[in-house]
Structures are given as C-alpha cells and as structure tokens.
Homo-oligomer: A and B are copies of this chain.
Amino acid sequence: MAPKINGLGIMPEDTRICVVMVGLPARGKSYIAQRAQRYLKWLSVPAATFNVGNYRRENAPHPSADFFDTNNAEGERQRRAAANAAVADMLKWFKSGGVVAILDATNSTKERRKWVLERISSEGIEVIFVESKCDDEELVMANIRDVKATSPDYVGQDPEKAALDFRERIRNYEKVYKSINDDKDEDHLTYLKIMNVGKKVFINRIQDYLQSRVVYFLMNLHIRPRSVWLSRHGESMFNLDGRIGGDATLSHRGEEYALKLPELVRESVGSDRPLTVWTSTLKRTIATARHLPKHYNQLQWKALDELDAGVCDGMTYQEIADQYPEDFQARDEDKYNYRYRGGESYRDVVIRLEPIIMELERSEDILIISHQAVIRCIYAYFMQKTQEDSPWVPVPLHTLMKLTPRAYGTELQSYRANIKAVSTWRGKGSTAKHEDPAPEGGI
C-alpha cells in the first residue's frame, strides 16, 4: 500500500466508523456529536454528523409531544422514515470518502440499535454506540432550558409551553428507553456509556486506534463553563526586523505589553479566580508571562513553540522570496500543507498540538501565551476555521482573546492593550515587512 502521512496517528485506509448516539432527549447528544466532529475535522479526519431530527422536521416541522408517543403509528412511521433517510445519506457520504460519521438520534430501543448495527455494519463500517445517560434531574432541566428553548421544533412558541411540551416528549421516550446492555444481551456491541457527564464511563470492546482516540476524546469532554485565553508574546526584536522564528527577547513595547497583561487578564476574567498559564519554551512567551500573579500556575510546553521554519528560521519574507523563490510561492499556494525545508507545516503543528487540545478539553480556565501560527491552529479548532483559512487568520500582537465554548459554537471577545506593535500579518504573495491585514480578514 502507498505510504501515507498520518493525521490522527494510525489510520489504515479502510477504517470507517459510525458513531451512533444513544440517549433520551436533552442528554447532550448533539453537544457530544458537535465536539467530536470538530475535533476530527481539525485533525483532517473527514467527519460529518447526520441528525435524524433534521430529516424528520422536513415532514413534521413542529410536532407536539404526542407525535413521539409510541402508540402514534403515523408518528412512528415518520420517525422511522427519517432514520432511514439519514442512514442512506450517511452511507452515500461514506462512499465519497467519509471516515467518521456521527448518527445523532435517540436510538433508545434495542430494536432500533439492532437495525442500525445491521444496516451499517453490512457495508463494512464499524459501529460504535455512544450513550449519554444522565439521572441528575437538575442537569437535564438546565439542558432543556438552555438548548431546547432554541430548538427549531419550537421556533416562535412560548418558551414555557415549549419546555412543558418537551418534558412530555421525553416522557414518551422514557416509556420505551433501554440503556445499552442493561439486559446483558448487547454484550457484543462496541460501546461507550457516559454517565452524568463523565463521572462514570463504561467502555466495551473498543478495538482499534481510531475508536480509542474518539473514546478518549469523548471521555475528556466536560460541560462545566470555562474559557480559554489566547495571546501572542509581546512584540519581539525579531518582529521589529520582520524576521520569523528565532528566540529573540521582547522589544521595549513588548515589555510594556507584558506589564499590561495582568490588567487585561483581570478585566477579561471579571473575578479573582486564578488562571493556569501555558507558555512555549521560547524567551518571548516566558517574558510575556512573567508579571502575571505569582499564584497562577505556569507551565512551559515545547508543543507550544512557534512553527519551525527550518532553513528559513531567522529570515525576513524578502530574504525567503530571494533565496527560496519556489518555496515561497509553494507556501502561498497551499500554506496549510507547505512544510519548510527541515521545518514544519501548519498540518504538522496541528498534529503536535493535539495533546494540547485534548488537555484544553479536560481543563477549566487556561491562558495560553504562544506564537502566531500556533495560536492560529488553536483558534481554528475552537472557531471551526477551514484548513484553507486558518493559516491566514490575523492574530495581532498585544491583544488578548477570550474564547468561551457554548453549546453551539464558541464566543470570542478581544481585549486590546493599546500598545503599538508592528503587524506581522502577511498577505498572499506579499514580502512586506509589516503589512496590515485586509479589513475583511479580521478575527
């Protein structure tokens, strides 16, 4: 077989996985599906979610709770047709190169799971069931209020009425719901059962690497509110010269930013709670972090070092264009995949950042002080930027970003220090030392 560059570690050509969600409504299934998809896509694993509810809504856009009553034959027929349509589309998607599909539906009976398993595995696709189970009534109600109030099923309806109807709908599901393997006759299934948002996890028959990565990722997800702060180091002496890479110290203005950073952080946190600070191992990020409060934990990660420019380390863009004109152009054409001679590509950086992302998913409040390309990759993860766009995202110096993950998407707030700095953004084809980003390119 032809050698292939690995993204997520091992991925034999023929591994295809369908993650089948299981659980009552309002158990965070869509949240889990969305997170898993984002993580996989960021790692270049073709991933997609097939939400059975969306298919069902084509025929029944605003059903009331009794649509979901198992005695309602017409409701039952329509819901089965929706599942059929979703699975059919999913199988088509696999044929066009898909690797991990997520089937987002309740799949709450043994019969339904049997049907899904047979239908999908007969196409040579591995099936892994992921059940989210929650008996913490408060958590469930919080989920109903936060998420379901905005559900397309209840558009334009009174939220209080919607919540009541939705609770009724859940009761209809509860009548037939069977947790995986509770009767011990689903022992042959590959599954992950997550109870009360990860307090307990049960894993059965996980087989290969990709399955194990997906499972490990899902185990680490939590839904406690938190934010991630991102900042580049203060302006460095190399920035002033328009040189890339290196291990320079801060410029005078960079030092000013380091002094100002504690205030920016305090303002953005809005309370006294301490953050944990991660820097790279390079002087300019460590110096930028050094005035933060002493009781903040600080940690240096080699994985947060700047993209390695190999032979071009320490050069200006003009020097690179002069000395390696073909490379310079090749990089502009496919910046995500271009690997500097003896150095790295954005793709390489993403792979080495994977443990950082895994750890961020586990953690609560983290402030990362790192470098342009690294921040772009982390930003791309949270903001779901494509591989095409992420290497061009402007990440200005002397600006603190606060990312707050929400049920759907991530919220961004920016805090500018009002300390001047050179621009290190570079447009396609440009060799300018300090070019300002195109206005539409702004974060």
The interface bits of chain A over 34-60 (1 if a CB of B lies within 8 angstroms of the residue's CB, else 0) are 000000000000000000000000000
Asked whether B203 lies within 8 Å of A247 as measured between CB atoms, the reply is: no
**Bound CA span A3–B278, Å:** 9
Q: A212 within 8 Å of B by Cβ? A: yes
Knowing A296-B1, A359-B10 are in contact, say whether A313-B286 is a contact too (CB < 8 A).
no
Chain B contacts of A209 at CB under 8 A?
359, 362-363
17 A-B pairs besides A206-B219, A303-B351 with CB distance below 8 A are A1-B296, A1-B298, A3-B298, A4-B300, A5-B300, A10-B299, A199-B205, A200-B204, A200-B205, A201-B202, A201-B204, A209-B362, A212-B219, A245-B342, A247-B341, A302-B352, A303-B352
A370 at the interface (CB under 8 A from B): no
Q: A327 in the interface, Cβ–Cβ < 8 Å?
A: no
Asked if A281 is at the interface of the complex by the 8 Å CB criterion, the answer is yes
A121: B residues at CB distance < 8 A:
none
Which residues of B have CB within 8 Å of A363? 10, 209
Tell me, yes or no, whether A175 is within 8 Å of chain B by CB.
Answer: no
CB of A301 within 8 Å of the partner chain: yes
Distance in angstroms between the alpha carbons of A359 and B351 in the assembled complex: 15
Kindly list chain B residues whose C-beta atoms are within 8 Å of the C-beta of A203: 200-203, 219
A362 in complex: contacting residue of B212, B276, B294, CB < 8 Å? B212
Say whether A124 faces chain B, with CB atoms less than 8 Å apart: no
A323 at the interface (CB under 8 A from B): no
Encode contact with B along A356-375: 1 for CB under 8 Å, 0 otherwise.
00010011000000000000
Distance (whole angstroms) from the CB of A34 to the closest CB of chain B: 22
Which residues of chain B come closer than 8 Å to A279, judged between CB atoms? 3
If A199-B204, A202-B202, A308-B308 touch, does A4 touch B341 (CB 8 Å cutoff)? no
Q: Are B247 and A302 in contact, CB atoms less than 8 angstroms apart?
A: no
Shortest C-beta distance, A281 to chain B (Å), equals 7
A295 to B14, CA, bound (A): 14
Q: Complex Cα distance A201/B199, Å?
A: 14
A178-211 interface (Cβ within 8 A of B)? 199-206, 209
Q: List the B residue with the shortest CB-CB distance to A286.
A: B3
Min Cβ gap A66→B in Å is 37
Query: Chain B residues with Cβ under 8 A from A2's Cβ?
Result: 298
**Interface 1/0 per residue, A205-233 and B, CB below 8 Å:** 11001001000100110000000000000
- In the complex, what distance in Å separates the CA atom of A294 from the CA atom of B1? 6
* A75 interfacial contact with B, CB 8 Å: no
Count of A interface residues, CB-CB < 8 Å: 54
Task: Let me know if A348 is at the binding interface, CB within 8 A.
Answer: yes
CA distance A106 to B416 in the complex (A): 58
Q: Which residue of B lies closest to A341 (CB)?
A: B247
A188–chain B nearest beta-carbon distance, Å: 11
B355 touches A342 (CB 8 A): no
Chain B residues positioned under 8 Å from A159 (CB to CB): none
A101 in contact (CB, < 8 A): no
Q: List 21 A-B contacts (CB under 8 A).
A: A1-B294, A1-B296, A1-B297, A1-B298, A2-B298, A3-B298, A4-B300, A5-B300, A6-B300, A10-B276, A10-B359, A199-B204, A206-B219, A209-B359, A209-B363, A212-B220, A245-B342, A246-B342, A308-B308, A352-B352, A355-B355
Contact partner of A342 among B9, B12, B247, B300, CB < 8 A? B247
Q: Complex formed: what's the CA distance from A409 to B342 in Å? A: 37
How far apart sit A348 and B282, CA to CA, in the bound complex (Å)? 14
Contact of A216 among B216, B294, B342 (CB under 8 A): B216
In the complex, whether A32 has a CB less than 8 A from a CB of chain B is no
The complex places the Cα of A212 from the Cα of B219 at a distance, in Å, of 9
Q: Which residue of B lies closest to A245 (CB)?
A: B342
How far, in whole Å, are A10 and B209 apart by their CA atoms in the complex?
23
Please name the 6 residue pairs, one residue from A and one from B, whose CB atoms are nearest each other, closest first: A3-B298, A201-B203, A302-B348, A5-B300, A200-B204, A6-B299
A289 CB within 8 Å of chain B: yes
